[in-house]
Structure 1
Amino acid sequence: MDQIDGETVRVSFESRAVCYIECIRKDENTGEVAYRSRASGFYWADVEQLYLITNRHNVTGLNPITGDPIGSFCPTFLRVWFNEHTGEKTGDCRYVKFVGRELSLFDKDERPTWFEHPSDPSVDVVAIRLDGYDWQERISVVNAKKAIPYSPMAGEDCFIVGYPEGLLGPGGTPIWKRASIATEPELDYDGRPVFLVDSLTRPGLSGAPVFARINGLWGQEGAQIEIGVGSPTPFGFWTNFLGIYAGREGDDKVGFQLARVWKKAVLDEIVSAKAIGKNPHD
């Protein structure tokens, strides 16, 4: 149970791990915000190291495939808002507050602070290492929750969890946008580790995690369902992380509703390689 805005409520683990992001560029002379856009992201951990995960185009302002500008600016900072456990408890209830922190996208030598895919610059995912923060008892990270051995298939539902058009739920919680899996997720779409989902998405969701919500009694298609002691078949529901949302296919804002999801395997590759990103200003 969480205490948010004075209320004792149940909040899903996944909602607590998602971040609202403002991508900003400051005026070099005044330090004031000159440009701003909205995005989503989430927390990920590798042993004791914490990372913020989002799309590469959110930190570069560039289309990762063509290299063309997506909007009118390249960000220099991120302002990240997230639900943090305060450490206070009342019985089984933990107090949570929606807090913000600012991250520079470049160090003092103008090197990017993000890691990107070591061999394929078109992978629209980055990991930003967060140092000097005692996060273990304060932050929910997506990969802290054990997945069940279930692989969804085309036609099943999933959820894009983020902040469309910067819309925040109560207490800063994200919006769960339902989608259906449109291509077989175990196959690569267009030769990349991507699958498509069918959903009318909006700007601001870029970088959002995508989850499958498995409900009731389940068994992989063609597999026998066993019930009893030692059986892997669960009742109720479970949520598995599938990948990272990264925008839509095509330019039609309404009629063309297929969106890209980068598979979770690319995230493991990025965190493992720790390849420093390329400066978009070079």
Structure 2
Amino acid sequence: MNSPAHSVVHLSIRRDKIKLAVGTGVLYQKDNETYIVTAWHNISGRHTETLGLLSKELAIPNNIIASIDVQVKQGESVSFIRMSITIPLLIENKRTTYFIHSQGYPKVDVVAIPIDLDKEYIMESSIASGEKVDLPIQLRSKQPHGLTMDIIHIQDTEFKNYDIGDYSDALYVSDEVFIIGYPKGITDYTGQAIWKRATIATSPHLRWQQQEQFLVDCASKEGMSGAPVIYYCRDGKINTGNIYYKGSEPISIFHGIYVGRVGSTSEFEAQVGKVWKRKIIDEIIDNKMYDFLPEELVLLSSDIKKIIEEEWPTENQEYTKQVLDEKTSYKYMFMHSIMEKINGRANKDDVLALILEYAETLNKVVKI
């Protein structure tokens, strides 16, 4: 069985030819289609909560270079080579090339980028003179003399035993998993990913903040966002809670996508990271919802004000006082409803400020 590391993708996130950041992705298959799954903030270039730009250059990504392990077979011989393809994130500024989750608030920090294994992509390269050239390459092909090339999906590396049933949620607090990615973009000439050990820190069954996510305790670094979270046992052992299984080969199970640290401002602080569950990926692919265009993603304050006015419960004369009362939670409840209405297309703190501003205006009118 192939190592799950062969399905991990190194991402160089760019604006035109300018490199903005490094991230991680994973090759995922559904309905015979292939996707690179990664974190939404990698691709959008924005913070998932504030929607502020992440790049120091204040630039928004419009393409990525995906470095992918390609399996080369010829007879009994099997080897791997790294191929780097350029993938645009926009099509003629009309739509994005990637799918997002339909839930905009709270933002699901995961995207799925469709890729066609039989299509010719561009690989940026250099010849001996130093001249830059663009070479057309395919990720899947049949060559002369029985040589074939193909990629490894994360599902191709997984343990499958239908007697056990659904083991994808067989995770409990204190279980150990691995996050496979590129911390600080670290790799070598082979392009191999780094395995970081992590411990399940919150119960996946209870979810976290009422979302399909859980937390892990792991000393992760930037560049790991979008990395797959894997249960891996080289000795072939797995305990699903009800059944203990011992196989003859290493066991690997894909559980979700790591999207970054929570609440840590320093690399030397205790680090807790967030993982979106695997089921989220299937929901994204099934819905096939494209993201908003970069210039349309963040709503104008004037648009938000109109929605606040439209949604304000005018039949409740006491509502304005309740919103302005610091002892009540009315303002937060209303903010949550507005954030859902606008599909998370604003900073919630800015929305709250606009709500309080509107309430103050109404309150002055009442007093007059």
Band the TM-score falls in, shorter-chain normalisation: 0.7 to 0.9
Select the residue among 153, 156, 162 that pairs with 2:175: 156
SS at match of 2:190: helix
1:82/1:100 contact within 8 Å kept: yes
Question: In proportion to residue count, which structure has more helix?
Answer: 2
Please say which structure displays the higher CA radius of gyration: 2
TM alignment of 1:94-173, pairs within 5 A? 94-120=78-104, 122-131=107-116, 132-133=118-119, 135=139, 138-148=150-160, 149=164, 150=167, 151-169=170-188, 171-173=190-192
User: How far 1:170 sits from its partner (Å)?
Assistant: 5.5
1:84/1:98 contact within 8 Å kept: yes
1:126/1:270 contact within 8 Å kept: yes
Q: 2:12 — aligned with what?
A: 22
User: How far 1:213 sits from its partner (Å)?
Assistant: 1.5
2:202/2:215 contact within 8 Å kept: yes
Q: 2:256 — aligned with what?
A: 243
Q: CA RMSD in A?
A: 2.2
Select the residue among 61, 66, 80 that pairs with 2:66: 80
* Runs of 5+ consecutive residues of structure 1 not aligned to the other structure: 1-10, 27-32, 226-231
1:169/1:175 contact within 8 Å kept: no
For these two proteins, the number of residue pairs brought into alignment is 257
SS at match of 1:191: coil
Q: Distance in 1 between matches of 2:197 and 2:24?
A: 16
TM alignment of 1:141-220, pairs within 5 A? 141-148=153-160, 149=164, 150=167, 151-169=170-188, 171-214=190-233, 215=235, 217-220=237-240
Question: In proportion to residue count, which structure has more strand?
Answer: 1
Q: Distance in 2 between matches of 1:116 and 1:280?
A: 14
In structure 2, what residue type is equivalent to 1:276? Y
1:23/1:58 contact within 8 Å kept: yes
Q: Distance in 2 between matches of 1:261 and 1:224?
A: 25
Q: Distance in 1 between matches of 2:227 and 2:243?
A: 34
When normalised by structure 1's length, the TM-score is 0.84
When normalised by structure 2's length, the TM-score is 0.65
* Runs of 5+ consecutive residues of structure 2 not aligned to the other structure: 120-137, 141-148, 297-368
Higher relative contact order (CA 8 A, sep 6+): 1
Q: Distance in 1 between matches of 2:202 and 2:291?
A: 30
Q: Distance in 2 between matches of 1:45 and 1:218?
A: 23
Q: Distance in 2 between matches of 1:241 and 1:218?
A: 13
